Chains A and B, each alone.
Chain A
Amino acid sequence: MLGSGFDLSPALPEAFLFVAGLALLAVAAWRERQANGFTLPLVALSFLVAALLLLGRDPTPTLAFDGHFVADGFANFVKVLILLAAAGSLLLAPAWLSDEGVERFEFPLLALFSTLGMAMMVSANSLLALYMALELHSLPLYVLAAFKRDEIRATEAGLKYFVLGALASGLLLYGCSLVYGFTGTLRFDVLASTFAGKGGAVLPLGAIVGLVFVVAGLAFKLAAVPFHMWTPDVYEGAPTPVTAFLTAAPKLAAFALLLRLLFQPFATYVDEWQQVVILVAVASMLLGAFAAIGQSNIKRLMAYSSIGHVGYALVGVAAGTGEGVHAVLVYLGIYLVMSIGTFGCILMMRRQGRYVEAIQDLAGLSRSRPLMALALALFMFSLAGIPPLAGFFGKLYVFLAAIRADLVWLAVVGVLTSVIGAFYYLRIVKIMYFDEPAESFDPLPRPGLGLVVAATAVLVAGFPLLPGPLVESAQAAARSLLGS
């Protein structure tokens, strides 16, 4: 086993990240003062290098670590997205960190280890690897949420996140043990062949209960209703760059894990889990649409918005088809760009040296900062799903997949909640363009933030012109996941 199985090459990017993290940690421990400045760009750079290592890799599944780790086309695609999202959201942070006096090297390094955990999640091929990777990705996030440890809101956020995360981990572990207990194996591929060998025999009740528990644990990570309660508080309380980080990459990793779990070992039991996913999707879409209306804090609003978007993405999962997987991947790819851009704009909301978060602070932005207002308006229109922006196409793919899977009513619910959701997105545009101007924001100290926002805005507006790269590679990834 050891001789032939211990080939690390499938996990090369992860290995690189790990080594880079350790090296940076070592350097930073000795040169703390200088390291506070240069660690973050280097971490972002190592994300990009890892992404480059992933490009062009063979999409055929290869196992490593005794079969607990799998590298395939699906994993490669999602990892690239995760690394890009992590790098993008990390690049939003420097200005905020130095303004708030917490420019410390631990911040990027924690993000690095969390990202490493996400990459492992995507490649997890067993229940054990699943749990371990999930924890690796979660623990740094708990710390990050409380990174501004002298601020009461941030510590509250971190603590809540940690306590509820522990509960979710408990649920997940319990589910894992049930599945293992009723099937006798941890590995996904073995599970899949066992199920396939039974030829569609009824799944043992314990296994399905276990699956529901695992799904619930993952739903917590996704912030899907009813496991979403932490989201608004953590999003609002955590430092804004952390919130930006939370919305993008971890969602992707959790979705990838969910997709792999549901479409590889449990693929033959679509009918069994479909109902559960539909229920969660509908609840998420409804809550995301309604609860956001009452918000006055833009980070809190984005929390509900992310809950709603998770609901839409789950519609694609609920379709239970390859087309659905494809739609989810496209949707998530577009969503992470929109959310990074939006948080970039939120991070620009600085007035006389203080960061503000109220929606009303955006009043009349179009007059004082026309470009920023334009970019934010683009993101809002895109989040609302208004053509021809990227967000529209994301929804289109998801709803089409649902309709093709004979879930027309689910698509109808999705469209209706989108309409309700459009209200609060458009309200922000209205406040920016039609309300009496509030005091204008401070000028941008560093160009990095503006560049990221500009790049995401171009991506959001330009997607319909060049949808190919995302749509086609997502297609390939979906095919790789379903093994067809």
Chain B
Amino acid sequence: MLHVLLVFSPLAGAAIAGLFGRLIGDRASQLVTCGLMALSALCAIIGLRQLGEEPYTVPLFTWMLVDGFAVDWALRVDTLSTVMMFVVSCISFLIHVYSIGYMAHDDSIPRFFAYLSFFTFAMLMLVTSDNLLQLYFGWEGVGVASYLLIGFWYTRPSACAAAIKAFIVNRVGDFGLALGVAATFFIFDSISYDEIFRAAPRFADTQLAIFGASFDTLTLICVLLFVGAIGKSAQLPLHTWLPDAMEGPTPVSALIHAATMVTAGVFLVARFSPLFEYAPEAQALVTAIGASTAFFAATVGLVQNDIKRVIAYSTCSQLGYMFAAAGVGAYAAGIFHLYTHAFFKALLFLGAGSVIHAMSDEQDMRRMGGIWRKLPLTYAAMWIGTLALVGFPGTSGFFSKDAIIEATFAAHAPFAGYAFGLLVLAAVLTAFYSGRLMFLTFHGDPRADAHTMEHVHESPPVMIVPLVLLALGALLAGWVGRDMLDPEGRFWAGAIVTLPDNRVLEEMHHVPTVVKLAPLFALVLGLGLSWLFYVRSPQLPNQLAGRLRPLYRFLLEKWYFDELYDALFVRPALALGRILWRGFDLGVIDRFGPDGVAVATLAAARRAVRLQTGYVYHYAFAMLIGIVALLSWYLFVVRG
């Protein structure tokens, strides 16, 4: 019951605000959705009692029953889903509350809150799924909701483009996931997690022949599932939608980046740890992609000027960390980082939203600066978020990020060394761009026009309170959640499966001191450099950018991924479409199909009308001709 309430109250909120929003008005829509979200969050907190207990399933009802193939709606409650539910519900609730202030001047408030709640519901459905089809339902629900929210301001072409981009790029990943689900059903003859996981060891090291080639069964399934995760979690090479998704309102960005959507991929890998453990090649791929994305996104983050874009690339990068951890077998570290990251990333986004709100919707950091005195609370909150992001000792990020870096060092998996190197480098870059963001936004001389500066003000309490709560979370979540890294896996109680020879969580405690200190060095180096660049001698960045022009352009243009995709996929597809449209559809089908038939019909109609002259003798003639024709037909054709 608890979990039913937890999952379905956001849906109820979405339905009420979405269907009757106009009827009950803005205020009531906000109250209903936030109230139901609060209920959901409350249930999630109560649900934490479940931690460490036996997992169980809450059956709801049968979805479909086709010739022995049964799919149920059910909620799977185990440690992993409990943690996810807690993160999703609580963060989403705070974002709902924050949105009341942030969206106060919008025209379609009920719609916004309905989408937000639906988004949350879809994510909850995803994390509590008991079988692959329900997972897929949640997965697609999240995709639809993100499309709706990114394109929320649908009168802006850029928002529509970003929404479509997010949706299409996700389709690529979702196709992989769909294939993965199909392959799983093909192999295991079931889509229920329990049965799949129980049967997984039997299929280790078996081969599956497809199109004449032979693949390791579990590797194939895991890679396909991971393709889905790549799309949803914005990893290389399907990351391009995430920065563009900034076109949505800031609370949406916070929701996408912290609680819902992008974490789904990490969750998927962790949920399927029983399969990934038997598929070392797939794990290696996860590690490689994760580490590469962590580094790549961090480099791009260095030069972005839009405050939300910097944070967006930072999300991309941090998700890379999580995948790298999962790839080397430290799923727990990945989920732990997911959990801490949710707090400080939501905090950073909402803080950025507060800044944007204060700066009259200015998002370019080059036109900010010198506002920290005017926004003391936001400033403090942002610093807490930044410190947690860069892994400052004592903050939540410190625990999880260090754990991941140590795990990659300690692991013996392929690409572990590669991952370790890139992650440490990325840590330096993270510290640098985070410092840059803070210094550019809050310090230095004001670069906004006087008019804007006059209006800079601290946000209303309804926005500040969520910030404070998230700041507390960003500071303390690490302490609270340390148990997740328990080497014996007692915390997870079987929700995450690791093979006996996977001792990463144990071994990571025995790495050399220099490795343990590496994140700290990275942090000091990165923050110090940014201080030097943006506080001490602000002319330095421009000089450097001028000196290293090609590199700067390369980073600013995000490694030219968008251009590459444009040339490789978009243009050829459009060209093909144009050929088919002009040549085939218009030229052949329309010409001889609908248009041709229509024209012929009209011509026939005109001719038929012309028969009707109005003269009686014509009519009489027609009758006589008619009877002659009938008789002739009869005499010469029928009687022959």
Q: Tell whether A23 is near chain B: CB-to-CB under 8 Å.
A: no
Q: Please tell me which one of the listed residues A163, A229, A272 contacts residue B618 in the complex, with CB atoms under 8 A apart.
A: A229
Determine, out of A40-48, A92-100, A181-189, A208-216, the stretch whose residues face the partner at the interface. Answer: A208-216
- Least CB distance from A197 to B in Å reads 22
**Chain A residues near B616 (CB-CB < 8 A):** 159-160, 163-164
**Chain A residues near B606 (CB-CB < 8 A):** 294
Q: Please tell me which one of the listed residues B623, B634, B637 contacts residue A226 in the complex, with CB atoms under 8 A apart.
A: B623
Is the beta-carbon distance between B619 and A212 smaller than 8 angstroms?
A: no
Q: Give Cα distance in the complex from A230 to B613, angstroms.
A: 11
Is the beta-carbon distance between A294 and B630 smaller than 8 angstroms?
A: no
Q: Provided the pairs A163-B620, A168-B623 are in contact, do residues A233 and B629 lie with their beta carbons within 8 angstroms?
A: no
Q: Please tell me which one of the listed residues A205, A230, A276 contacts residue B630 in the complex, with CB atoms under 8 A apart.
A: A276
**Chain B residues near A205 (CB-CB < 8 A):** 635, 639
Q: Which of B581-640 contact A (CB under 8 A)?
A: 601-602, 604-609, 611-612, 614, 616, 618-620, 622-623, 625-627, 629-631, 633-635, 637-639
Q: Provided the pairs A212-B634, A290-B601 are in contact, do residues A167 and B620 lie with their beta carbons within 8 angstroms?
A: yes
Interface residues on A, range: 35 or more
Is the beta-carbon distance between B619 and A293 smaller than 8 angstroms?
A: no
**Chain B residues near A294 (CB-CB < 8 A):** 605-606, 608-609
Q: Give Cα distance in the complex from A132 to B601, angstroms.
A: 42
Is the beta-carbon distance between A230 and B608 smaller than 8 angstroms?
A: no
- Least CB distance from A194 to B in Å reads 21
Is the beta-carbon distance between A229 and B623 smaller than 8 angstroms?
A: yes
Q: Which of A280-333 contact B (CB under 8 A)?
A: 280, 287, 290-295
Q: Give Cα distance in the complex from A346 to B633, angstroms.
A: 40
Q: Please tell me which one of the listed residues A164, A280, A291, A292 contacts residue B620 in the complex, with CB atoms under 8 A apart.
A: A164
Q: Provided the pairs A290-B604, A294-B605 are in contact, do residues A275 and B622 lie with their beta carbons within 8 angstroms?
A: no
**Chain B residues near A167 (CB-CB < 8 A):** 620, 623
Q: Give Cα distance in the complex from A160 to B614, angstroms.
A: 9
Using an 8 Å CB-CB cutoff, how does the interface string of A155-184 with B read, 1 for contact, 0 for none?
A: 000011001100110010000000000000
- Least CB distance from A306 to B in Å reads 14
Closest to B618 in A: A229
Q: Give Cα distance in the complex from A291 to B612, angstroms.
A: 9
- Least CB distance from B123 to A in Å reads 42
Is the beta-carbon distance between B605 and A230 smaller than 8 angstroms?
A: no
Q: Provided the pairs A164-B619, A227-B626, A230-B619 are in contact, do residues A209 and B631 lie with their beta carbons within 8 angstroms?
A: yes
Using an 8 Å CB-CB cutoff, how does the interface string of A126-167 with B read, 1 for contact, 0 for none?
A: 000000000000000000000000000000000110011001
Using an 8 Å CB-CB cutoff, how does the interface string of A37-81 with B read, 1 for contact, 0 for none?
A: 000000000000000000000000000000000000000000000
**Chain B residues near A293 (CB-CB < 8 A):** 601-602, 605
Closest to A202 in B: B639
Q: Give Cα distance in the complex from A235 to B107, angstroms.
A: 57
**Chain A residues near B633 (CB-CB < 8 A):** 275-276, 279
Q: Tell whether A426 is near chain B: CB-to-CB under 8 Å.
A: no
Q: Tell whether A425 is near chain B: CB-to-CB under 8 Å.
A: no
Is the beta-carbon distance between A280 and B630 smaller than 8 angstroms?
A: yes
Is the beta-carbon distance between B612 and A160 smaller than 8 angstroms?
A: no
Residue of B609, B620, B627, B639 with most chain A CB atoms under a 10 A cut-off: B627
**Chain B residues near A209 (CB-CB < 8 A):** 631, 634-635
Using an 8 Å CB-CB cutoff, how does the interface string of A211-236 with B read, 1 for contact, 0 for none?
A: 01101100010000111011011000
Residue of A171, A215, A279 with most chain B CB atoms under a 10 A cut-off: A279
**Chain A residues near B620 (CB-CB < 8 A):** 163-164, 167
Q: Tell whether A420 is near chain B: CB-to-CB under 8 Å.
A: yes
Q: Please tell me which one of the listed residues A160, A171, A213, A420 contacts residue B601 in the complex, with CB atoms under 8 A apart.
A: A420
Q: Give Cα distance in the complex from A168 to B626, angstroms.
A: 12
Closest to B633 in A: A279
Q: Which of A215-262 contact B (CB under 8 A)?
A: 215-216, 220, 225-227, 229-230, 232-233
Q: Give Cα distance in the complex from A220 to B620, angstroms.
A: 11
Q: Provided the pairs A164-B619, A233-B612, A275-B638 are in contact, do residues A226 and B605 lie with their beta carbons within 8 angstroms?
A: no
Q: Provided the pairs A163-B616, A229-B622, A272-B638 are in contact, do residues A291 and B630 lie with their beta carbons within 8 angstroms?
A: no
Closest to B623 in A: A227
**Chain B residues near A420 (CB-CB < 8 A):** 601
Q: Provided the pairs A276-B634, A291-B609, A291-B612 are in contact, do residues A213 and B602 lie with their beta carbons within 8 angstroms?
A: no
**Chain A residues near B629 (CB-CB < 8 A):** 226
Closest to B621 in A: A229
**Chain B residues near A233 (CB-CB < 8 A):** 612, 614
- Least CB distance from A142 to B in Å reads 14
**Chain B residues near A208 (CB-CB < 8 A):** 634
**Chain A residues near B627 (CB-CB < 8 A):** 171, 212-213, 216
Q: Give Cα distance in the complex from A232 to B616, angstroms.
A: 12
**Chain B residues near A227 (CB-CB < 8 A):** 623, 626
Q: Please tell me which one of the listed residues B608, B626, B631, B635 contacts residue A291 in the complex, with CB atoms under 8 A apart.
A: B608
Q: Provided the pairs A167-B623, A272-B638 are in contact, do residues A290 and B608 lie with their beta carbons within 8 angstroms?
A: yes
Q: Which of B46-85 contact A (CB under 8 A)?
A: none
Q: List 10 A-B contacts (CB under 8 A).
A: A160-B619, A205-B639, A209-B631, A216-B630, A229-B622, A276-B634, A276-B638, A291-B605, A291-B611, A294-B608
Further pairs besides A275-B637, A275-B638, A276-B638: 15, Cβ < 8 Å: A168-B623, A208-B634, A209-B635, A212-B631, A213-B627, A226-B629, A227-B623, A227-B626, A229-B612, A279-B630, A280-B630, A290-B601, A290-B605, A291-B609, A291-B612
* A-B residue pairs, 6 tightest by C-beta: A226-B626, A229-B619, A291-B608, A293-B605, A294-B609, A290-B604
